[in-house]
C-alpha cells in the first residue's frame, strides 16, 4: 500500500445528520492547563499545511504555534501564559486508532494537563472498503488509550474530536479535475474516493457505507467519553458537522487541511471543548 493511502483526512461534514448520542456528565473545565499534548494522525501533524508532503507541526490546530492558525495551545496561552513552550505534538502521520495507546503513553510520560485526540480518518479511509477498521475494534482501541490516560494522568482534561466527514471530501472535490487527479495519483482514500464521478448505485452505496462507518466511530467516541467521566469532553460532532470547502484543503493532495483549514479546525474544535 502506498504511504499516501494512510495519510489523514481533512475537516468535515455533509448534510445534516442526527447521530446517536451518549449522555455524558458535564465536562469539568477546571483551570486552564499549564501543559498539553495532541494525539492523532497527519491532520494533527499539520501535514501539507506549509510544504510539499511534509509535517508542519507549527500549523497544527491543536499544539501549533503559528499565529495564523490560532491553535488550542495559543488560545490557552492567551489566558494562561504558564503553558508557554509546553505543547507536545505526539501525533504521527498515518496513525490509526490502534496507535493511540502508544501515543497516550507518551502523553503520560510528559505529565501534561490537557490532551486532544483526533483519530479515525485512516481507520475509514483505506485502500478498499473491506480494509476499514471494524467498529468494535475501533472502540476497543479508543478505550485502551483512554484507560492509559486516566490511569497515568487522572487530573488531565481530554478532548475527543469527532472524525471528519470524508463523504464531504468527495462531495466538494468530485467536480475538480485537480482533486480527482491527486486522489488517483496518490491513491488517496480509495474506500471513499474510488470512481469519484460514478453515479452507479454500487458506488453510491459504497460511499454511504463508508460514511456510516465514520458516523459509527463518532458514536463510539461519544460513548467512550461519557464513560470516562467529567474530565473528558466530546465535541458533539462539531468537526464532523462543519461544511468545509475545497479552498480549505491542500492544493497538493486535496485531502489534508491547508493552513486555512487548520485555522477553522482549531476554531470549531476549541469552541466545542472546555471553554477556557
**Cβ contact 163:121 at 8 Å:** yes
What does the pLDDT read at residue 13?
Answer: 35
Residue 3's pLDDT band (cuts 50, 70, 90):
very low
239 or 52: which carries more pLDDT confidence?
239
Check whether 4 has a pLDDT greater than 70: no
What does the pLDDT read at residue 24?
Answer: 46
Average the pLDDT over 100-121 and give the result: 98
Residue 123 sits at the vertex; the CA angle it makes with 121 and 127, to the nearest 5 degrees, is: 100
What does the pLDDT read at residue 8?
Answer: 40
Ranking 20-29, 72-81, 94-103 by mean pLDDT, the lowest is 20-29
* φ, ψ (nearest 5 deg) of residue 87: -120, 115
Mean pLDDT of the residues in the chain: 92
Residue 2's pLDDT band (cuts 50, 70, 90):
very low
For a pLDDT cut of 70, what percent of the chain falls above it? Answer: 91
What does the pLDDT read at residue 148?
Answer: 98
Residues 6+ apart with CB under 8 A from 213: 123, 124, 132, 135
Cell numbers describing residue 218: 463518532
- Residue 85: burial class (beta carbons within 10 Å; 0-12, 13-18, 19+): exposed
What does the pLDDT read at residue 27?
Answer: 83
Average the pLDDT over 74-84 and give the result: 98
Alpha-carbon distance of 103 to 165, in angstroms, equals: 24
List the alpha helices (DSSP H) in the chain.
72-79, 100-110, 121-124, 135-152, 166-173, 177-186, 190-193, 201-228, 259-271
pLDDT digits (tens, 9 = 90+) for 218-252: 999 999 999 999 999 999 999 999 999 999 999 99
Check whether 22 has a pLDDT greater than 50: no
Residue 25's pLDDT band (cuts 50, 70, 90):
low
Residue 6's pLDDT band (cuts 50, 70, 90):
very low
What does the pLDDT read at residue 18?
Answer: 38
pLDDT digits (tens, 9 = 90+) for 130-178: 999 999 999 999 999 999 999 999 999 999 999 999 999 999 999 999 9
Average the pLDDT over 105-125 and give the result: 98
Amino acid at each position: 500500500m502506498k504511504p499516501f493511502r494512510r495519510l489523514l483526512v481533512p475537516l468535515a461534514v455533509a448534510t445534516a445528520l442526527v447521530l446517536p448520542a451518549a449522555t455524558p456528565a458535564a465536562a469539568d473545565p477546571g483551570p486552564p492547563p499549564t501543559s498539553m499534548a495532541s494525539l492523532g494522525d497527519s491532520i494533527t501533524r499539520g501535514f501539507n499545511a506549509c510544504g510539499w508532503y511534509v509535517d508542519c507541526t507549527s500549523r497544527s490546530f491543536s499544539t501549533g504555534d503559528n499565529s495564523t492558525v490560532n491553535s488550542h495551545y495559543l488560545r490557552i496561552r492567551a489566558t494562561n501564559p504558564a503553558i508557554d513552550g509546553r505543547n507536545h505534538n505526539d501525533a504521527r502521520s498515518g496513525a490509526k486508532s490502534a496507535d493511540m495507546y502508544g501515543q497516550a503513553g507518551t502523553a503520560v510520560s510528559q505529565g501534561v494537563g490537557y490532551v486532544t485526540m483526533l483519530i479515525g480518518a485512516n481507520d475509514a479511509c483505506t485502500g478498499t472498503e473491506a480494509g476499514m477498521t471494524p467498529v468494535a475494534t475501533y472502540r476497543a482501541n479508543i478505550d485502551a488509550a483512554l484507560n492509559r490516560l486516566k490511569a497515568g494522568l487522572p487530573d488531565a482534561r481530554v478532548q475527543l474530536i469527532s472524525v471528519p466527514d470524508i463523504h464531504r471530501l468527495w462531495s466538494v472535490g468530485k467536480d475538480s479535475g485537480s482533486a480527482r487527479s491527486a486522489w488517483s495519483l496518490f491513491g488517496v482514500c480509495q474506500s471513499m474516493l474510488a470512481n469519484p464521478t460514478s453515479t452507479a448505485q454500487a458506488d453510491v452505496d459504497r460511499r454511504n457505507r463508508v460514511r456510516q462507518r465514520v458516523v459509527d466511530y463518532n458514536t463510539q467516541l461519544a460513548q467512550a467519553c461519557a464513560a470516562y467521566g467529567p474530565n473528558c469532553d466530546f465535541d458533539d460532532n462539531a468537526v464532523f458537522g462543519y461544511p468545509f470547502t475545497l479552498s480549505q484543503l491542500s492544493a497538493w493532495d486535496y485531502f489534508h487541511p491547508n493552513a486555512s483549514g487548520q485555522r477553522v479546525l482549531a476554531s470549531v474544535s476549541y469552541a466545542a471543548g472546555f471553554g477556557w
